[in-house]
């Protein structure tokens, strides 16, 4: 804490919630942001702290530990107790790795890797792998001491309530499907339609839960939960799947799921705009509101997501709009 400049936010007998909020607020200060800047990656003397090197070492050891735990789980001669312990270790390790990759500012891996390299080194692959680990022994995993982390009951039993942002995406998907002839709807196309609609439904529920509890954890989990449904279409460069991931990444930036200006979510948003621009008006308004004008959630008020309307006047990015640069 002291070498991060955070010793002044610590107080004796602070509970976990208070401390977490203070650390989150301190992470946006110049002193802390400066510590993570590129020119701080090289140690000038023994007292310097090379956070990039330490983070890389942590990442490497965590990935190695997760793989070893998974191999232990797959041993045919393991007892049920040993298998449960191994899958628990693998699940927790993958959970921490995914959270770390979503928050780190050093671009260790991108959100999406479109190179020919296999296996892909990106967050999509991490999300898909994490989901597969969870499905390996999900019923037993939820009975462990940390089972609540992996519970999805709230998603399952949350009633559907319309969210303007997701509803706009759903209408745009219907327009996207309008270009497909009825006679071209094969089994593959039908599966794609069902998968994308499921992605939108779960995203809508994740919004509702984030608004209800004023906490965005389910939004952050969305990519892991829906990885099997969306990753194949992103890999295939299905335009709507790419756009859905673009919109989701913008929401991640808006909610400050990464506290640093440089992050994998923003990189993907910028890449998509450069690759597929000029964007439609919805995507362009979203880009300027979140990326150009840096409008983020204020005071952890995630209930404001219910009013996140891209067609609202303050999303207008034209120079003549006095509200264009006002944070909401």
Could you give the CA distance from residue 158 to residue 155 in angstroms, rounded to a whole number? Answer: 5
Residue at 273 is within a domain: yes
Q: How many residues does the chain have?
A: 328
Residue 83 backbone phi and psi in degrees, to 5: -65, -40
Q: Mean pLDDT in the chain?
A: 83
Mean pLDDT of 197-214: 95
Q: Are residues 133 and 75 in the same domain?
A: yes
CB 286 within 8 A of CB 247: yes
Q: Is the pLDDT of residue 266 over 90?
A: yes
Q: What is the pLDDT of residue 173?
A: 97
Could you give the CA distance from residue 263 to residue 220 in angstroms, rounded to a whole number? Answer: 14
Q: Are residues 311 and 179 in the same domain?
A: yes
Q: What is the pLDDT of residue 71?
A: 87
Mean pLDDT of 243-267: 92
What is the tens place of the pLDDT at every residue in 120-179?
A: 789 999 899 888 888 888 887 877 777 777 777 777 777 778 999 999 999 999 999 988
Q: Are residues 143 and 264 in the same domain?
A: no
Q: What is the pLDDT of residue 61?
A: 84
Q: What is the pLDDT of residue 148?
A: 78
Q: What is the pLDDT of residue 327?
A: 41
Residue at 88 is within a domain: yes
Q: Are residues 84 and 132 in the same domain?
A: yes
Residue at 134 is within a domain: yes
Q: What is the pLDDT of residue 37?
A: 56
Distances (CA, A) of 286 to 77, 99, 210, 268, 293: 53, 24, 20, 14, 10
Q: What is the pLDDT of residue 5?
A: 42
Q: Are residues 245 and 137 in the same domain?
A: no
Q: In total, how many domains does the chain have?
A: 2
Domain boundary among 108, 125, 150: 150
Q: Is the pLDDT of residue 324 over 60?
A: no
**Residue predicted with more confidence, 217 or 9:** 217
Domain boundary among 120, 150, 180: 150
Instruction: With residue 20 as reference, give the H or E element that holds it.
Output: helix 16-26
CB 285 within 8 A of CB 310: yes
What HEC string does 244-263 produce? HHHHHHHHHHHCCCCCCCCC
Q: What is the pLDDT of residue 142?
A: 79
CB 219 within 8 A of CB 267: no
Q: What is the pLDDT of residue 155?
A: 79
Q: How confident is residue 13, by pLDDT bands cut at 50, 70 and 90?
A: low
Mean pLDDT of 13-41: 59
What is the tens place of the pLDDT at every residue in 109-119?
A: 899 998 888 88
Could you give the CA distance from residue 273 to residue 243 in angstroms, rounded to a whole number? Answer: 10
Residue at 17 is within a domain: no
**Residue predicted with more confidence, 97 or 2:** 97
Q: Are residues 132 and 264 in the same domain?
A: no
Residue at 57 is within a domain: no
Task: Tell me the residue range of the domain where 206 lies.
Answer: 154-315
CB 5 within 8 A of CB 35: yes
CA angle (226, 231, 236) in 5-degree steps: 150
Mean pLDDT of 263-279: 95
Q: Are residues 189 and 112 in the same domain?
A: no
Q: What is the pLDDT of residue 208?
A: 94
Least confident segment among 15-24, 212-221, 286-295: 15-24
Q: Are residues 145 and 167 in the same domain?
A: no
Q: What is the pLDDT of residue 319?
A: 58
Residues of the chain with pLDDT > 70, as a percent, come to 81
Residues of the chain with pLDDT > 90, as a percent, come to 41
Residue at 139 is within a domain: yes
Q: How confident is residue 39, by pLDDT bands cut at 50, 70 and 90?
A: very low
Mean pLDDT of 289-304: 93
Could you give the CA distance from residue 117 to residue 136 in angstroms, rounded to a whole number? Answer: 26
For the entire predicted model, the pTM comes to 0.81
Task: For the chain, count helices (H), then strands (E).
Answer: 14, 0
Q: Is the pLDDT of residue 4 over 50?
A: no
Residue at 111 is within a domain: yes
What is the tens place of the pLDDT at every residue in 206-231?
A: 999 999 999 898 999 999 999 999 99
Q: Are residues 162 and 290 in the same domain?
A: yes
Residue at 251 is within a domain: yes
CB atoms within 10 A of CB 37: 12
Q: What is the pLDDT of residue 136?
A: 80
Mean pLDDT of 238-244: 97
């Amino acid at each position: 804490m002291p070498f991060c400049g955070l010793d002044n936010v610590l107080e004796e007998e602070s509970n976990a919630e208070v401390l977490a909020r203070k650390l989150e607020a301190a992470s946006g200060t110049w002193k802390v942001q400066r510590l993570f800047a590129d020119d701080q990656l090289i140690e000038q003397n023994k007292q310097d702290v090379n956070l990039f090197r330490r983070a890389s070492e942590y990442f490497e050891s965590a990935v190695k530990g997760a793989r070893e735990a998974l191999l232990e789980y797959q041993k045919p001669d393991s007892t049920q107790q040993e298998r449960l312990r191994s899958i628990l270790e693998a699940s927790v390790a993958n959970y921490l790795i995914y959270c770390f990759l979503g928050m780190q500012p050093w671009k260790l891996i991108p959100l999406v890797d479109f190179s020919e390299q296999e296996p892909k080194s990106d967050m999509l692959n991490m999300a898909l792998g994490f989901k597969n680990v969870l499905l390996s022994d999900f019923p037993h995993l939820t009975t462990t001491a940390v089972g609540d982390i992996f519970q999805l009951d709230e998603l399952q039993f949350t009633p559907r309530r319309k969210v303007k942002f997701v509803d706009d995406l759903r209408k745009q998907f219907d327009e996207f499907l309008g270009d497909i002839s009825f006679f071209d709807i094969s089994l593959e196309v039908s599966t794609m339609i069902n998968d994308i609609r499921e992605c939108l439904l779960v995203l809508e529920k994740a919004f509702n839960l984030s608004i209800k509890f004023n906490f965005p954890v389910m939004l952050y989990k969305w990519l892991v939960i829906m990885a099997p449904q969306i990753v194949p279409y992103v890999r295939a460069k299905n335009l709507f799947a790419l756009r859905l991931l673009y919109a989701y990444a913008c929401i991640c930036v808006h909610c400050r799921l990464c506290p640093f200006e440089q992050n994998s979510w923003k990189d993907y948003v910028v890449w998509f705009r450069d690759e597929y621009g000029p964007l439609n008006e919805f995507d362009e308004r979203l880009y300027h509101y979140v990326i150009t004008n840096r409008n983020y959630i204020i005071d952890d008020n995630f209930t404001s997501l219910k009013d996140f309307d891209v067609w609202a006047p303050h999303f207008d990015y034209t120079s003549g709009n006095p509200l264009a640069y006002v944070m909401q």
